[in-house]
Amino acid sequence: MNTISEKQKFEISEAIRDYMDQKNVSQNALSKSAGVSSAYITYILKGEWNSFPNSGGKAVAIKDATFNKLALAVGYEIQQSYWQHFDTENYKAIRLACMEAREYREPRGIDGYTGAGKTYSLESYVRKNPNETYYIKVTDDMSVKDVIEELGRKVGVSVGGSRYKLRREICRKVMNMDKPLIIIDEAENLRDGSWGALKAIYDDLEHRAGIVLAGMNIQQDITRKAGRMKKHFPQIERRFEGTWTFMNDMTLEDVSMVCRGLGITVNSVKNWLFKNTRNFGSLSRVVKGALKYSKETGEPMDGHLLNSLYPQYIR
């Protein structure tokens, strides 16, 4: 279990940057002290460690051994990880939706069940693409003004004044950017009045910014309320029509990919996980817990261990 997760790789890249800045160490000097190519450091600092061009011109991932050497050189302690990033079909679909929304300055909708990886995938996109990306997560206790103020804080405008003035300030700032992207996650928690504010923001920023709306059953909810001619919803339905990406159920190939990546080779474990974990959230919880328990106790990672640790998951 020496695999370094994507999150840890991002943290190592930040540690490298901080080390060079604070110690006034050049990239070449760090390259020599760590015993790694300076080109590797360049790609790690850019966040492009999965697309390093090898001698044949093919894009490959920089090996964990390189990250280990750099972490040691800059004093970053790598904690034991029992999970890592996986390019699931849902992750790739969400990344594509964000890329398209930004590139074409259009709306995109993302709809899926809880545990499908929506928030993880969106936050991963934001970490890798922080420039002109404004992400908010809506909670069920947020009023209309709370939502607008949260977006204002992310965009970097003063949050004082009326909702109208704040919305106009947000839009004025965003429309002067190059390719901005606004992401509203857990949109199922938006109060009905917030949809009017969202419609107004969309209208002000049409063809000027990408807007991603993500949540659980929100497409169906919008359609239902539009059919009842509830205020704002027919317009919202039309603006997001044809833009929706729907999350897929977790597949056996998804589980197999996770097992391969984490070094789990026992087929009975793979089959147990596919049969008994309902989504990526529960898959992650079970795998991390079982691997940690197996490492600490020496018990083998097998179906018997999973049955004893997680009887509540057995179907």
Same domain as 294, residue 263: yes
Give one DSSP letter per residue of 4-44, joined into a string.
PPHHHHHHHHHHHHHHHHHHT--HHHHHHHHTS-HHHHHHH
Q: Which of 234, 144, 147, 146 is nearest to 192 (CA)?
A: 144
Edge-first strand listing for the sheet containing 181-185: 133-137, 181-185, 210-215, 107-111, 244-246
How far, rounded to the nearest angstrom, does the alpha carbon of residue 279 sit from its chain's CA centroid? 16
Domain coverage including residue 307: 252-313
193 and 239 share one domain: yes
In a shared domain, residues 167 and 259: no
Residues 122 and 256 in one domain: no
Confirm whether 84 is domain-assigned: no
State the pLDDT at residue 161.
87
Q: Could you tell me which of 110, 65, 59 has the C-alpha nearest to residue 248? A: 110
Alpha helices in 84-186 (DSSP H): 89-104, 118-128, 144-155, 163-174
In a domain, 170, yes or no: yes
Give the Cα separation of 182 and 211 in Å (integer): 5
Parallel/antiparallel/unpaired status of strands 52-53 and 59-60: antiparallel
Statement to judge: residues 267 and 222 lie in one domain: no
Q: What is the mean pLDDT, run by run of 10 residues, along the chain of 315 residues?
A: 74 94 94 95 94 88 93 88 87 97 98 93 92 96 96 92 94 96 98 94 97 97 97 96 95 93 90 94 94 93 95 93
pLDDT number for residue 4: 81
| DSSP secondary structure code for residue 158 in this structure | -
Please tell me the pTM assigned to this model.
0.76
CA 275 – CA 165 distance, rounded (Å): 52
Q: How many CB atoms lie within 10 A of CB 32?
A: 12
Query: What's the pLDDT score for residue 170?
Result: 97
Taken in order 284, 289, 294, 299, the sign of the CA dihedral is negative
- Considering the domain architecture, whether residues 25 and 134 belong to the same structural domain is answered as no
Mark whether 273 and 308 lie in a shared domain: yes
pLDDT value, residue 128: 86
Instruction: Give the Cα separation of 201 and 93 in Å (integer).
Output: 25
Q: What's the pLDDT at 160?
A: 82
């949809």: which residue's tokens? 195
Contact present, 34 and 73 (Cβ < 8 Å):
yes
Last residue of a domain, one of 199, 223, 246: 246
The answer to the question of residue 104 being in a domain is yes
Q: What is the pLDDT of residue 1?
A: 40
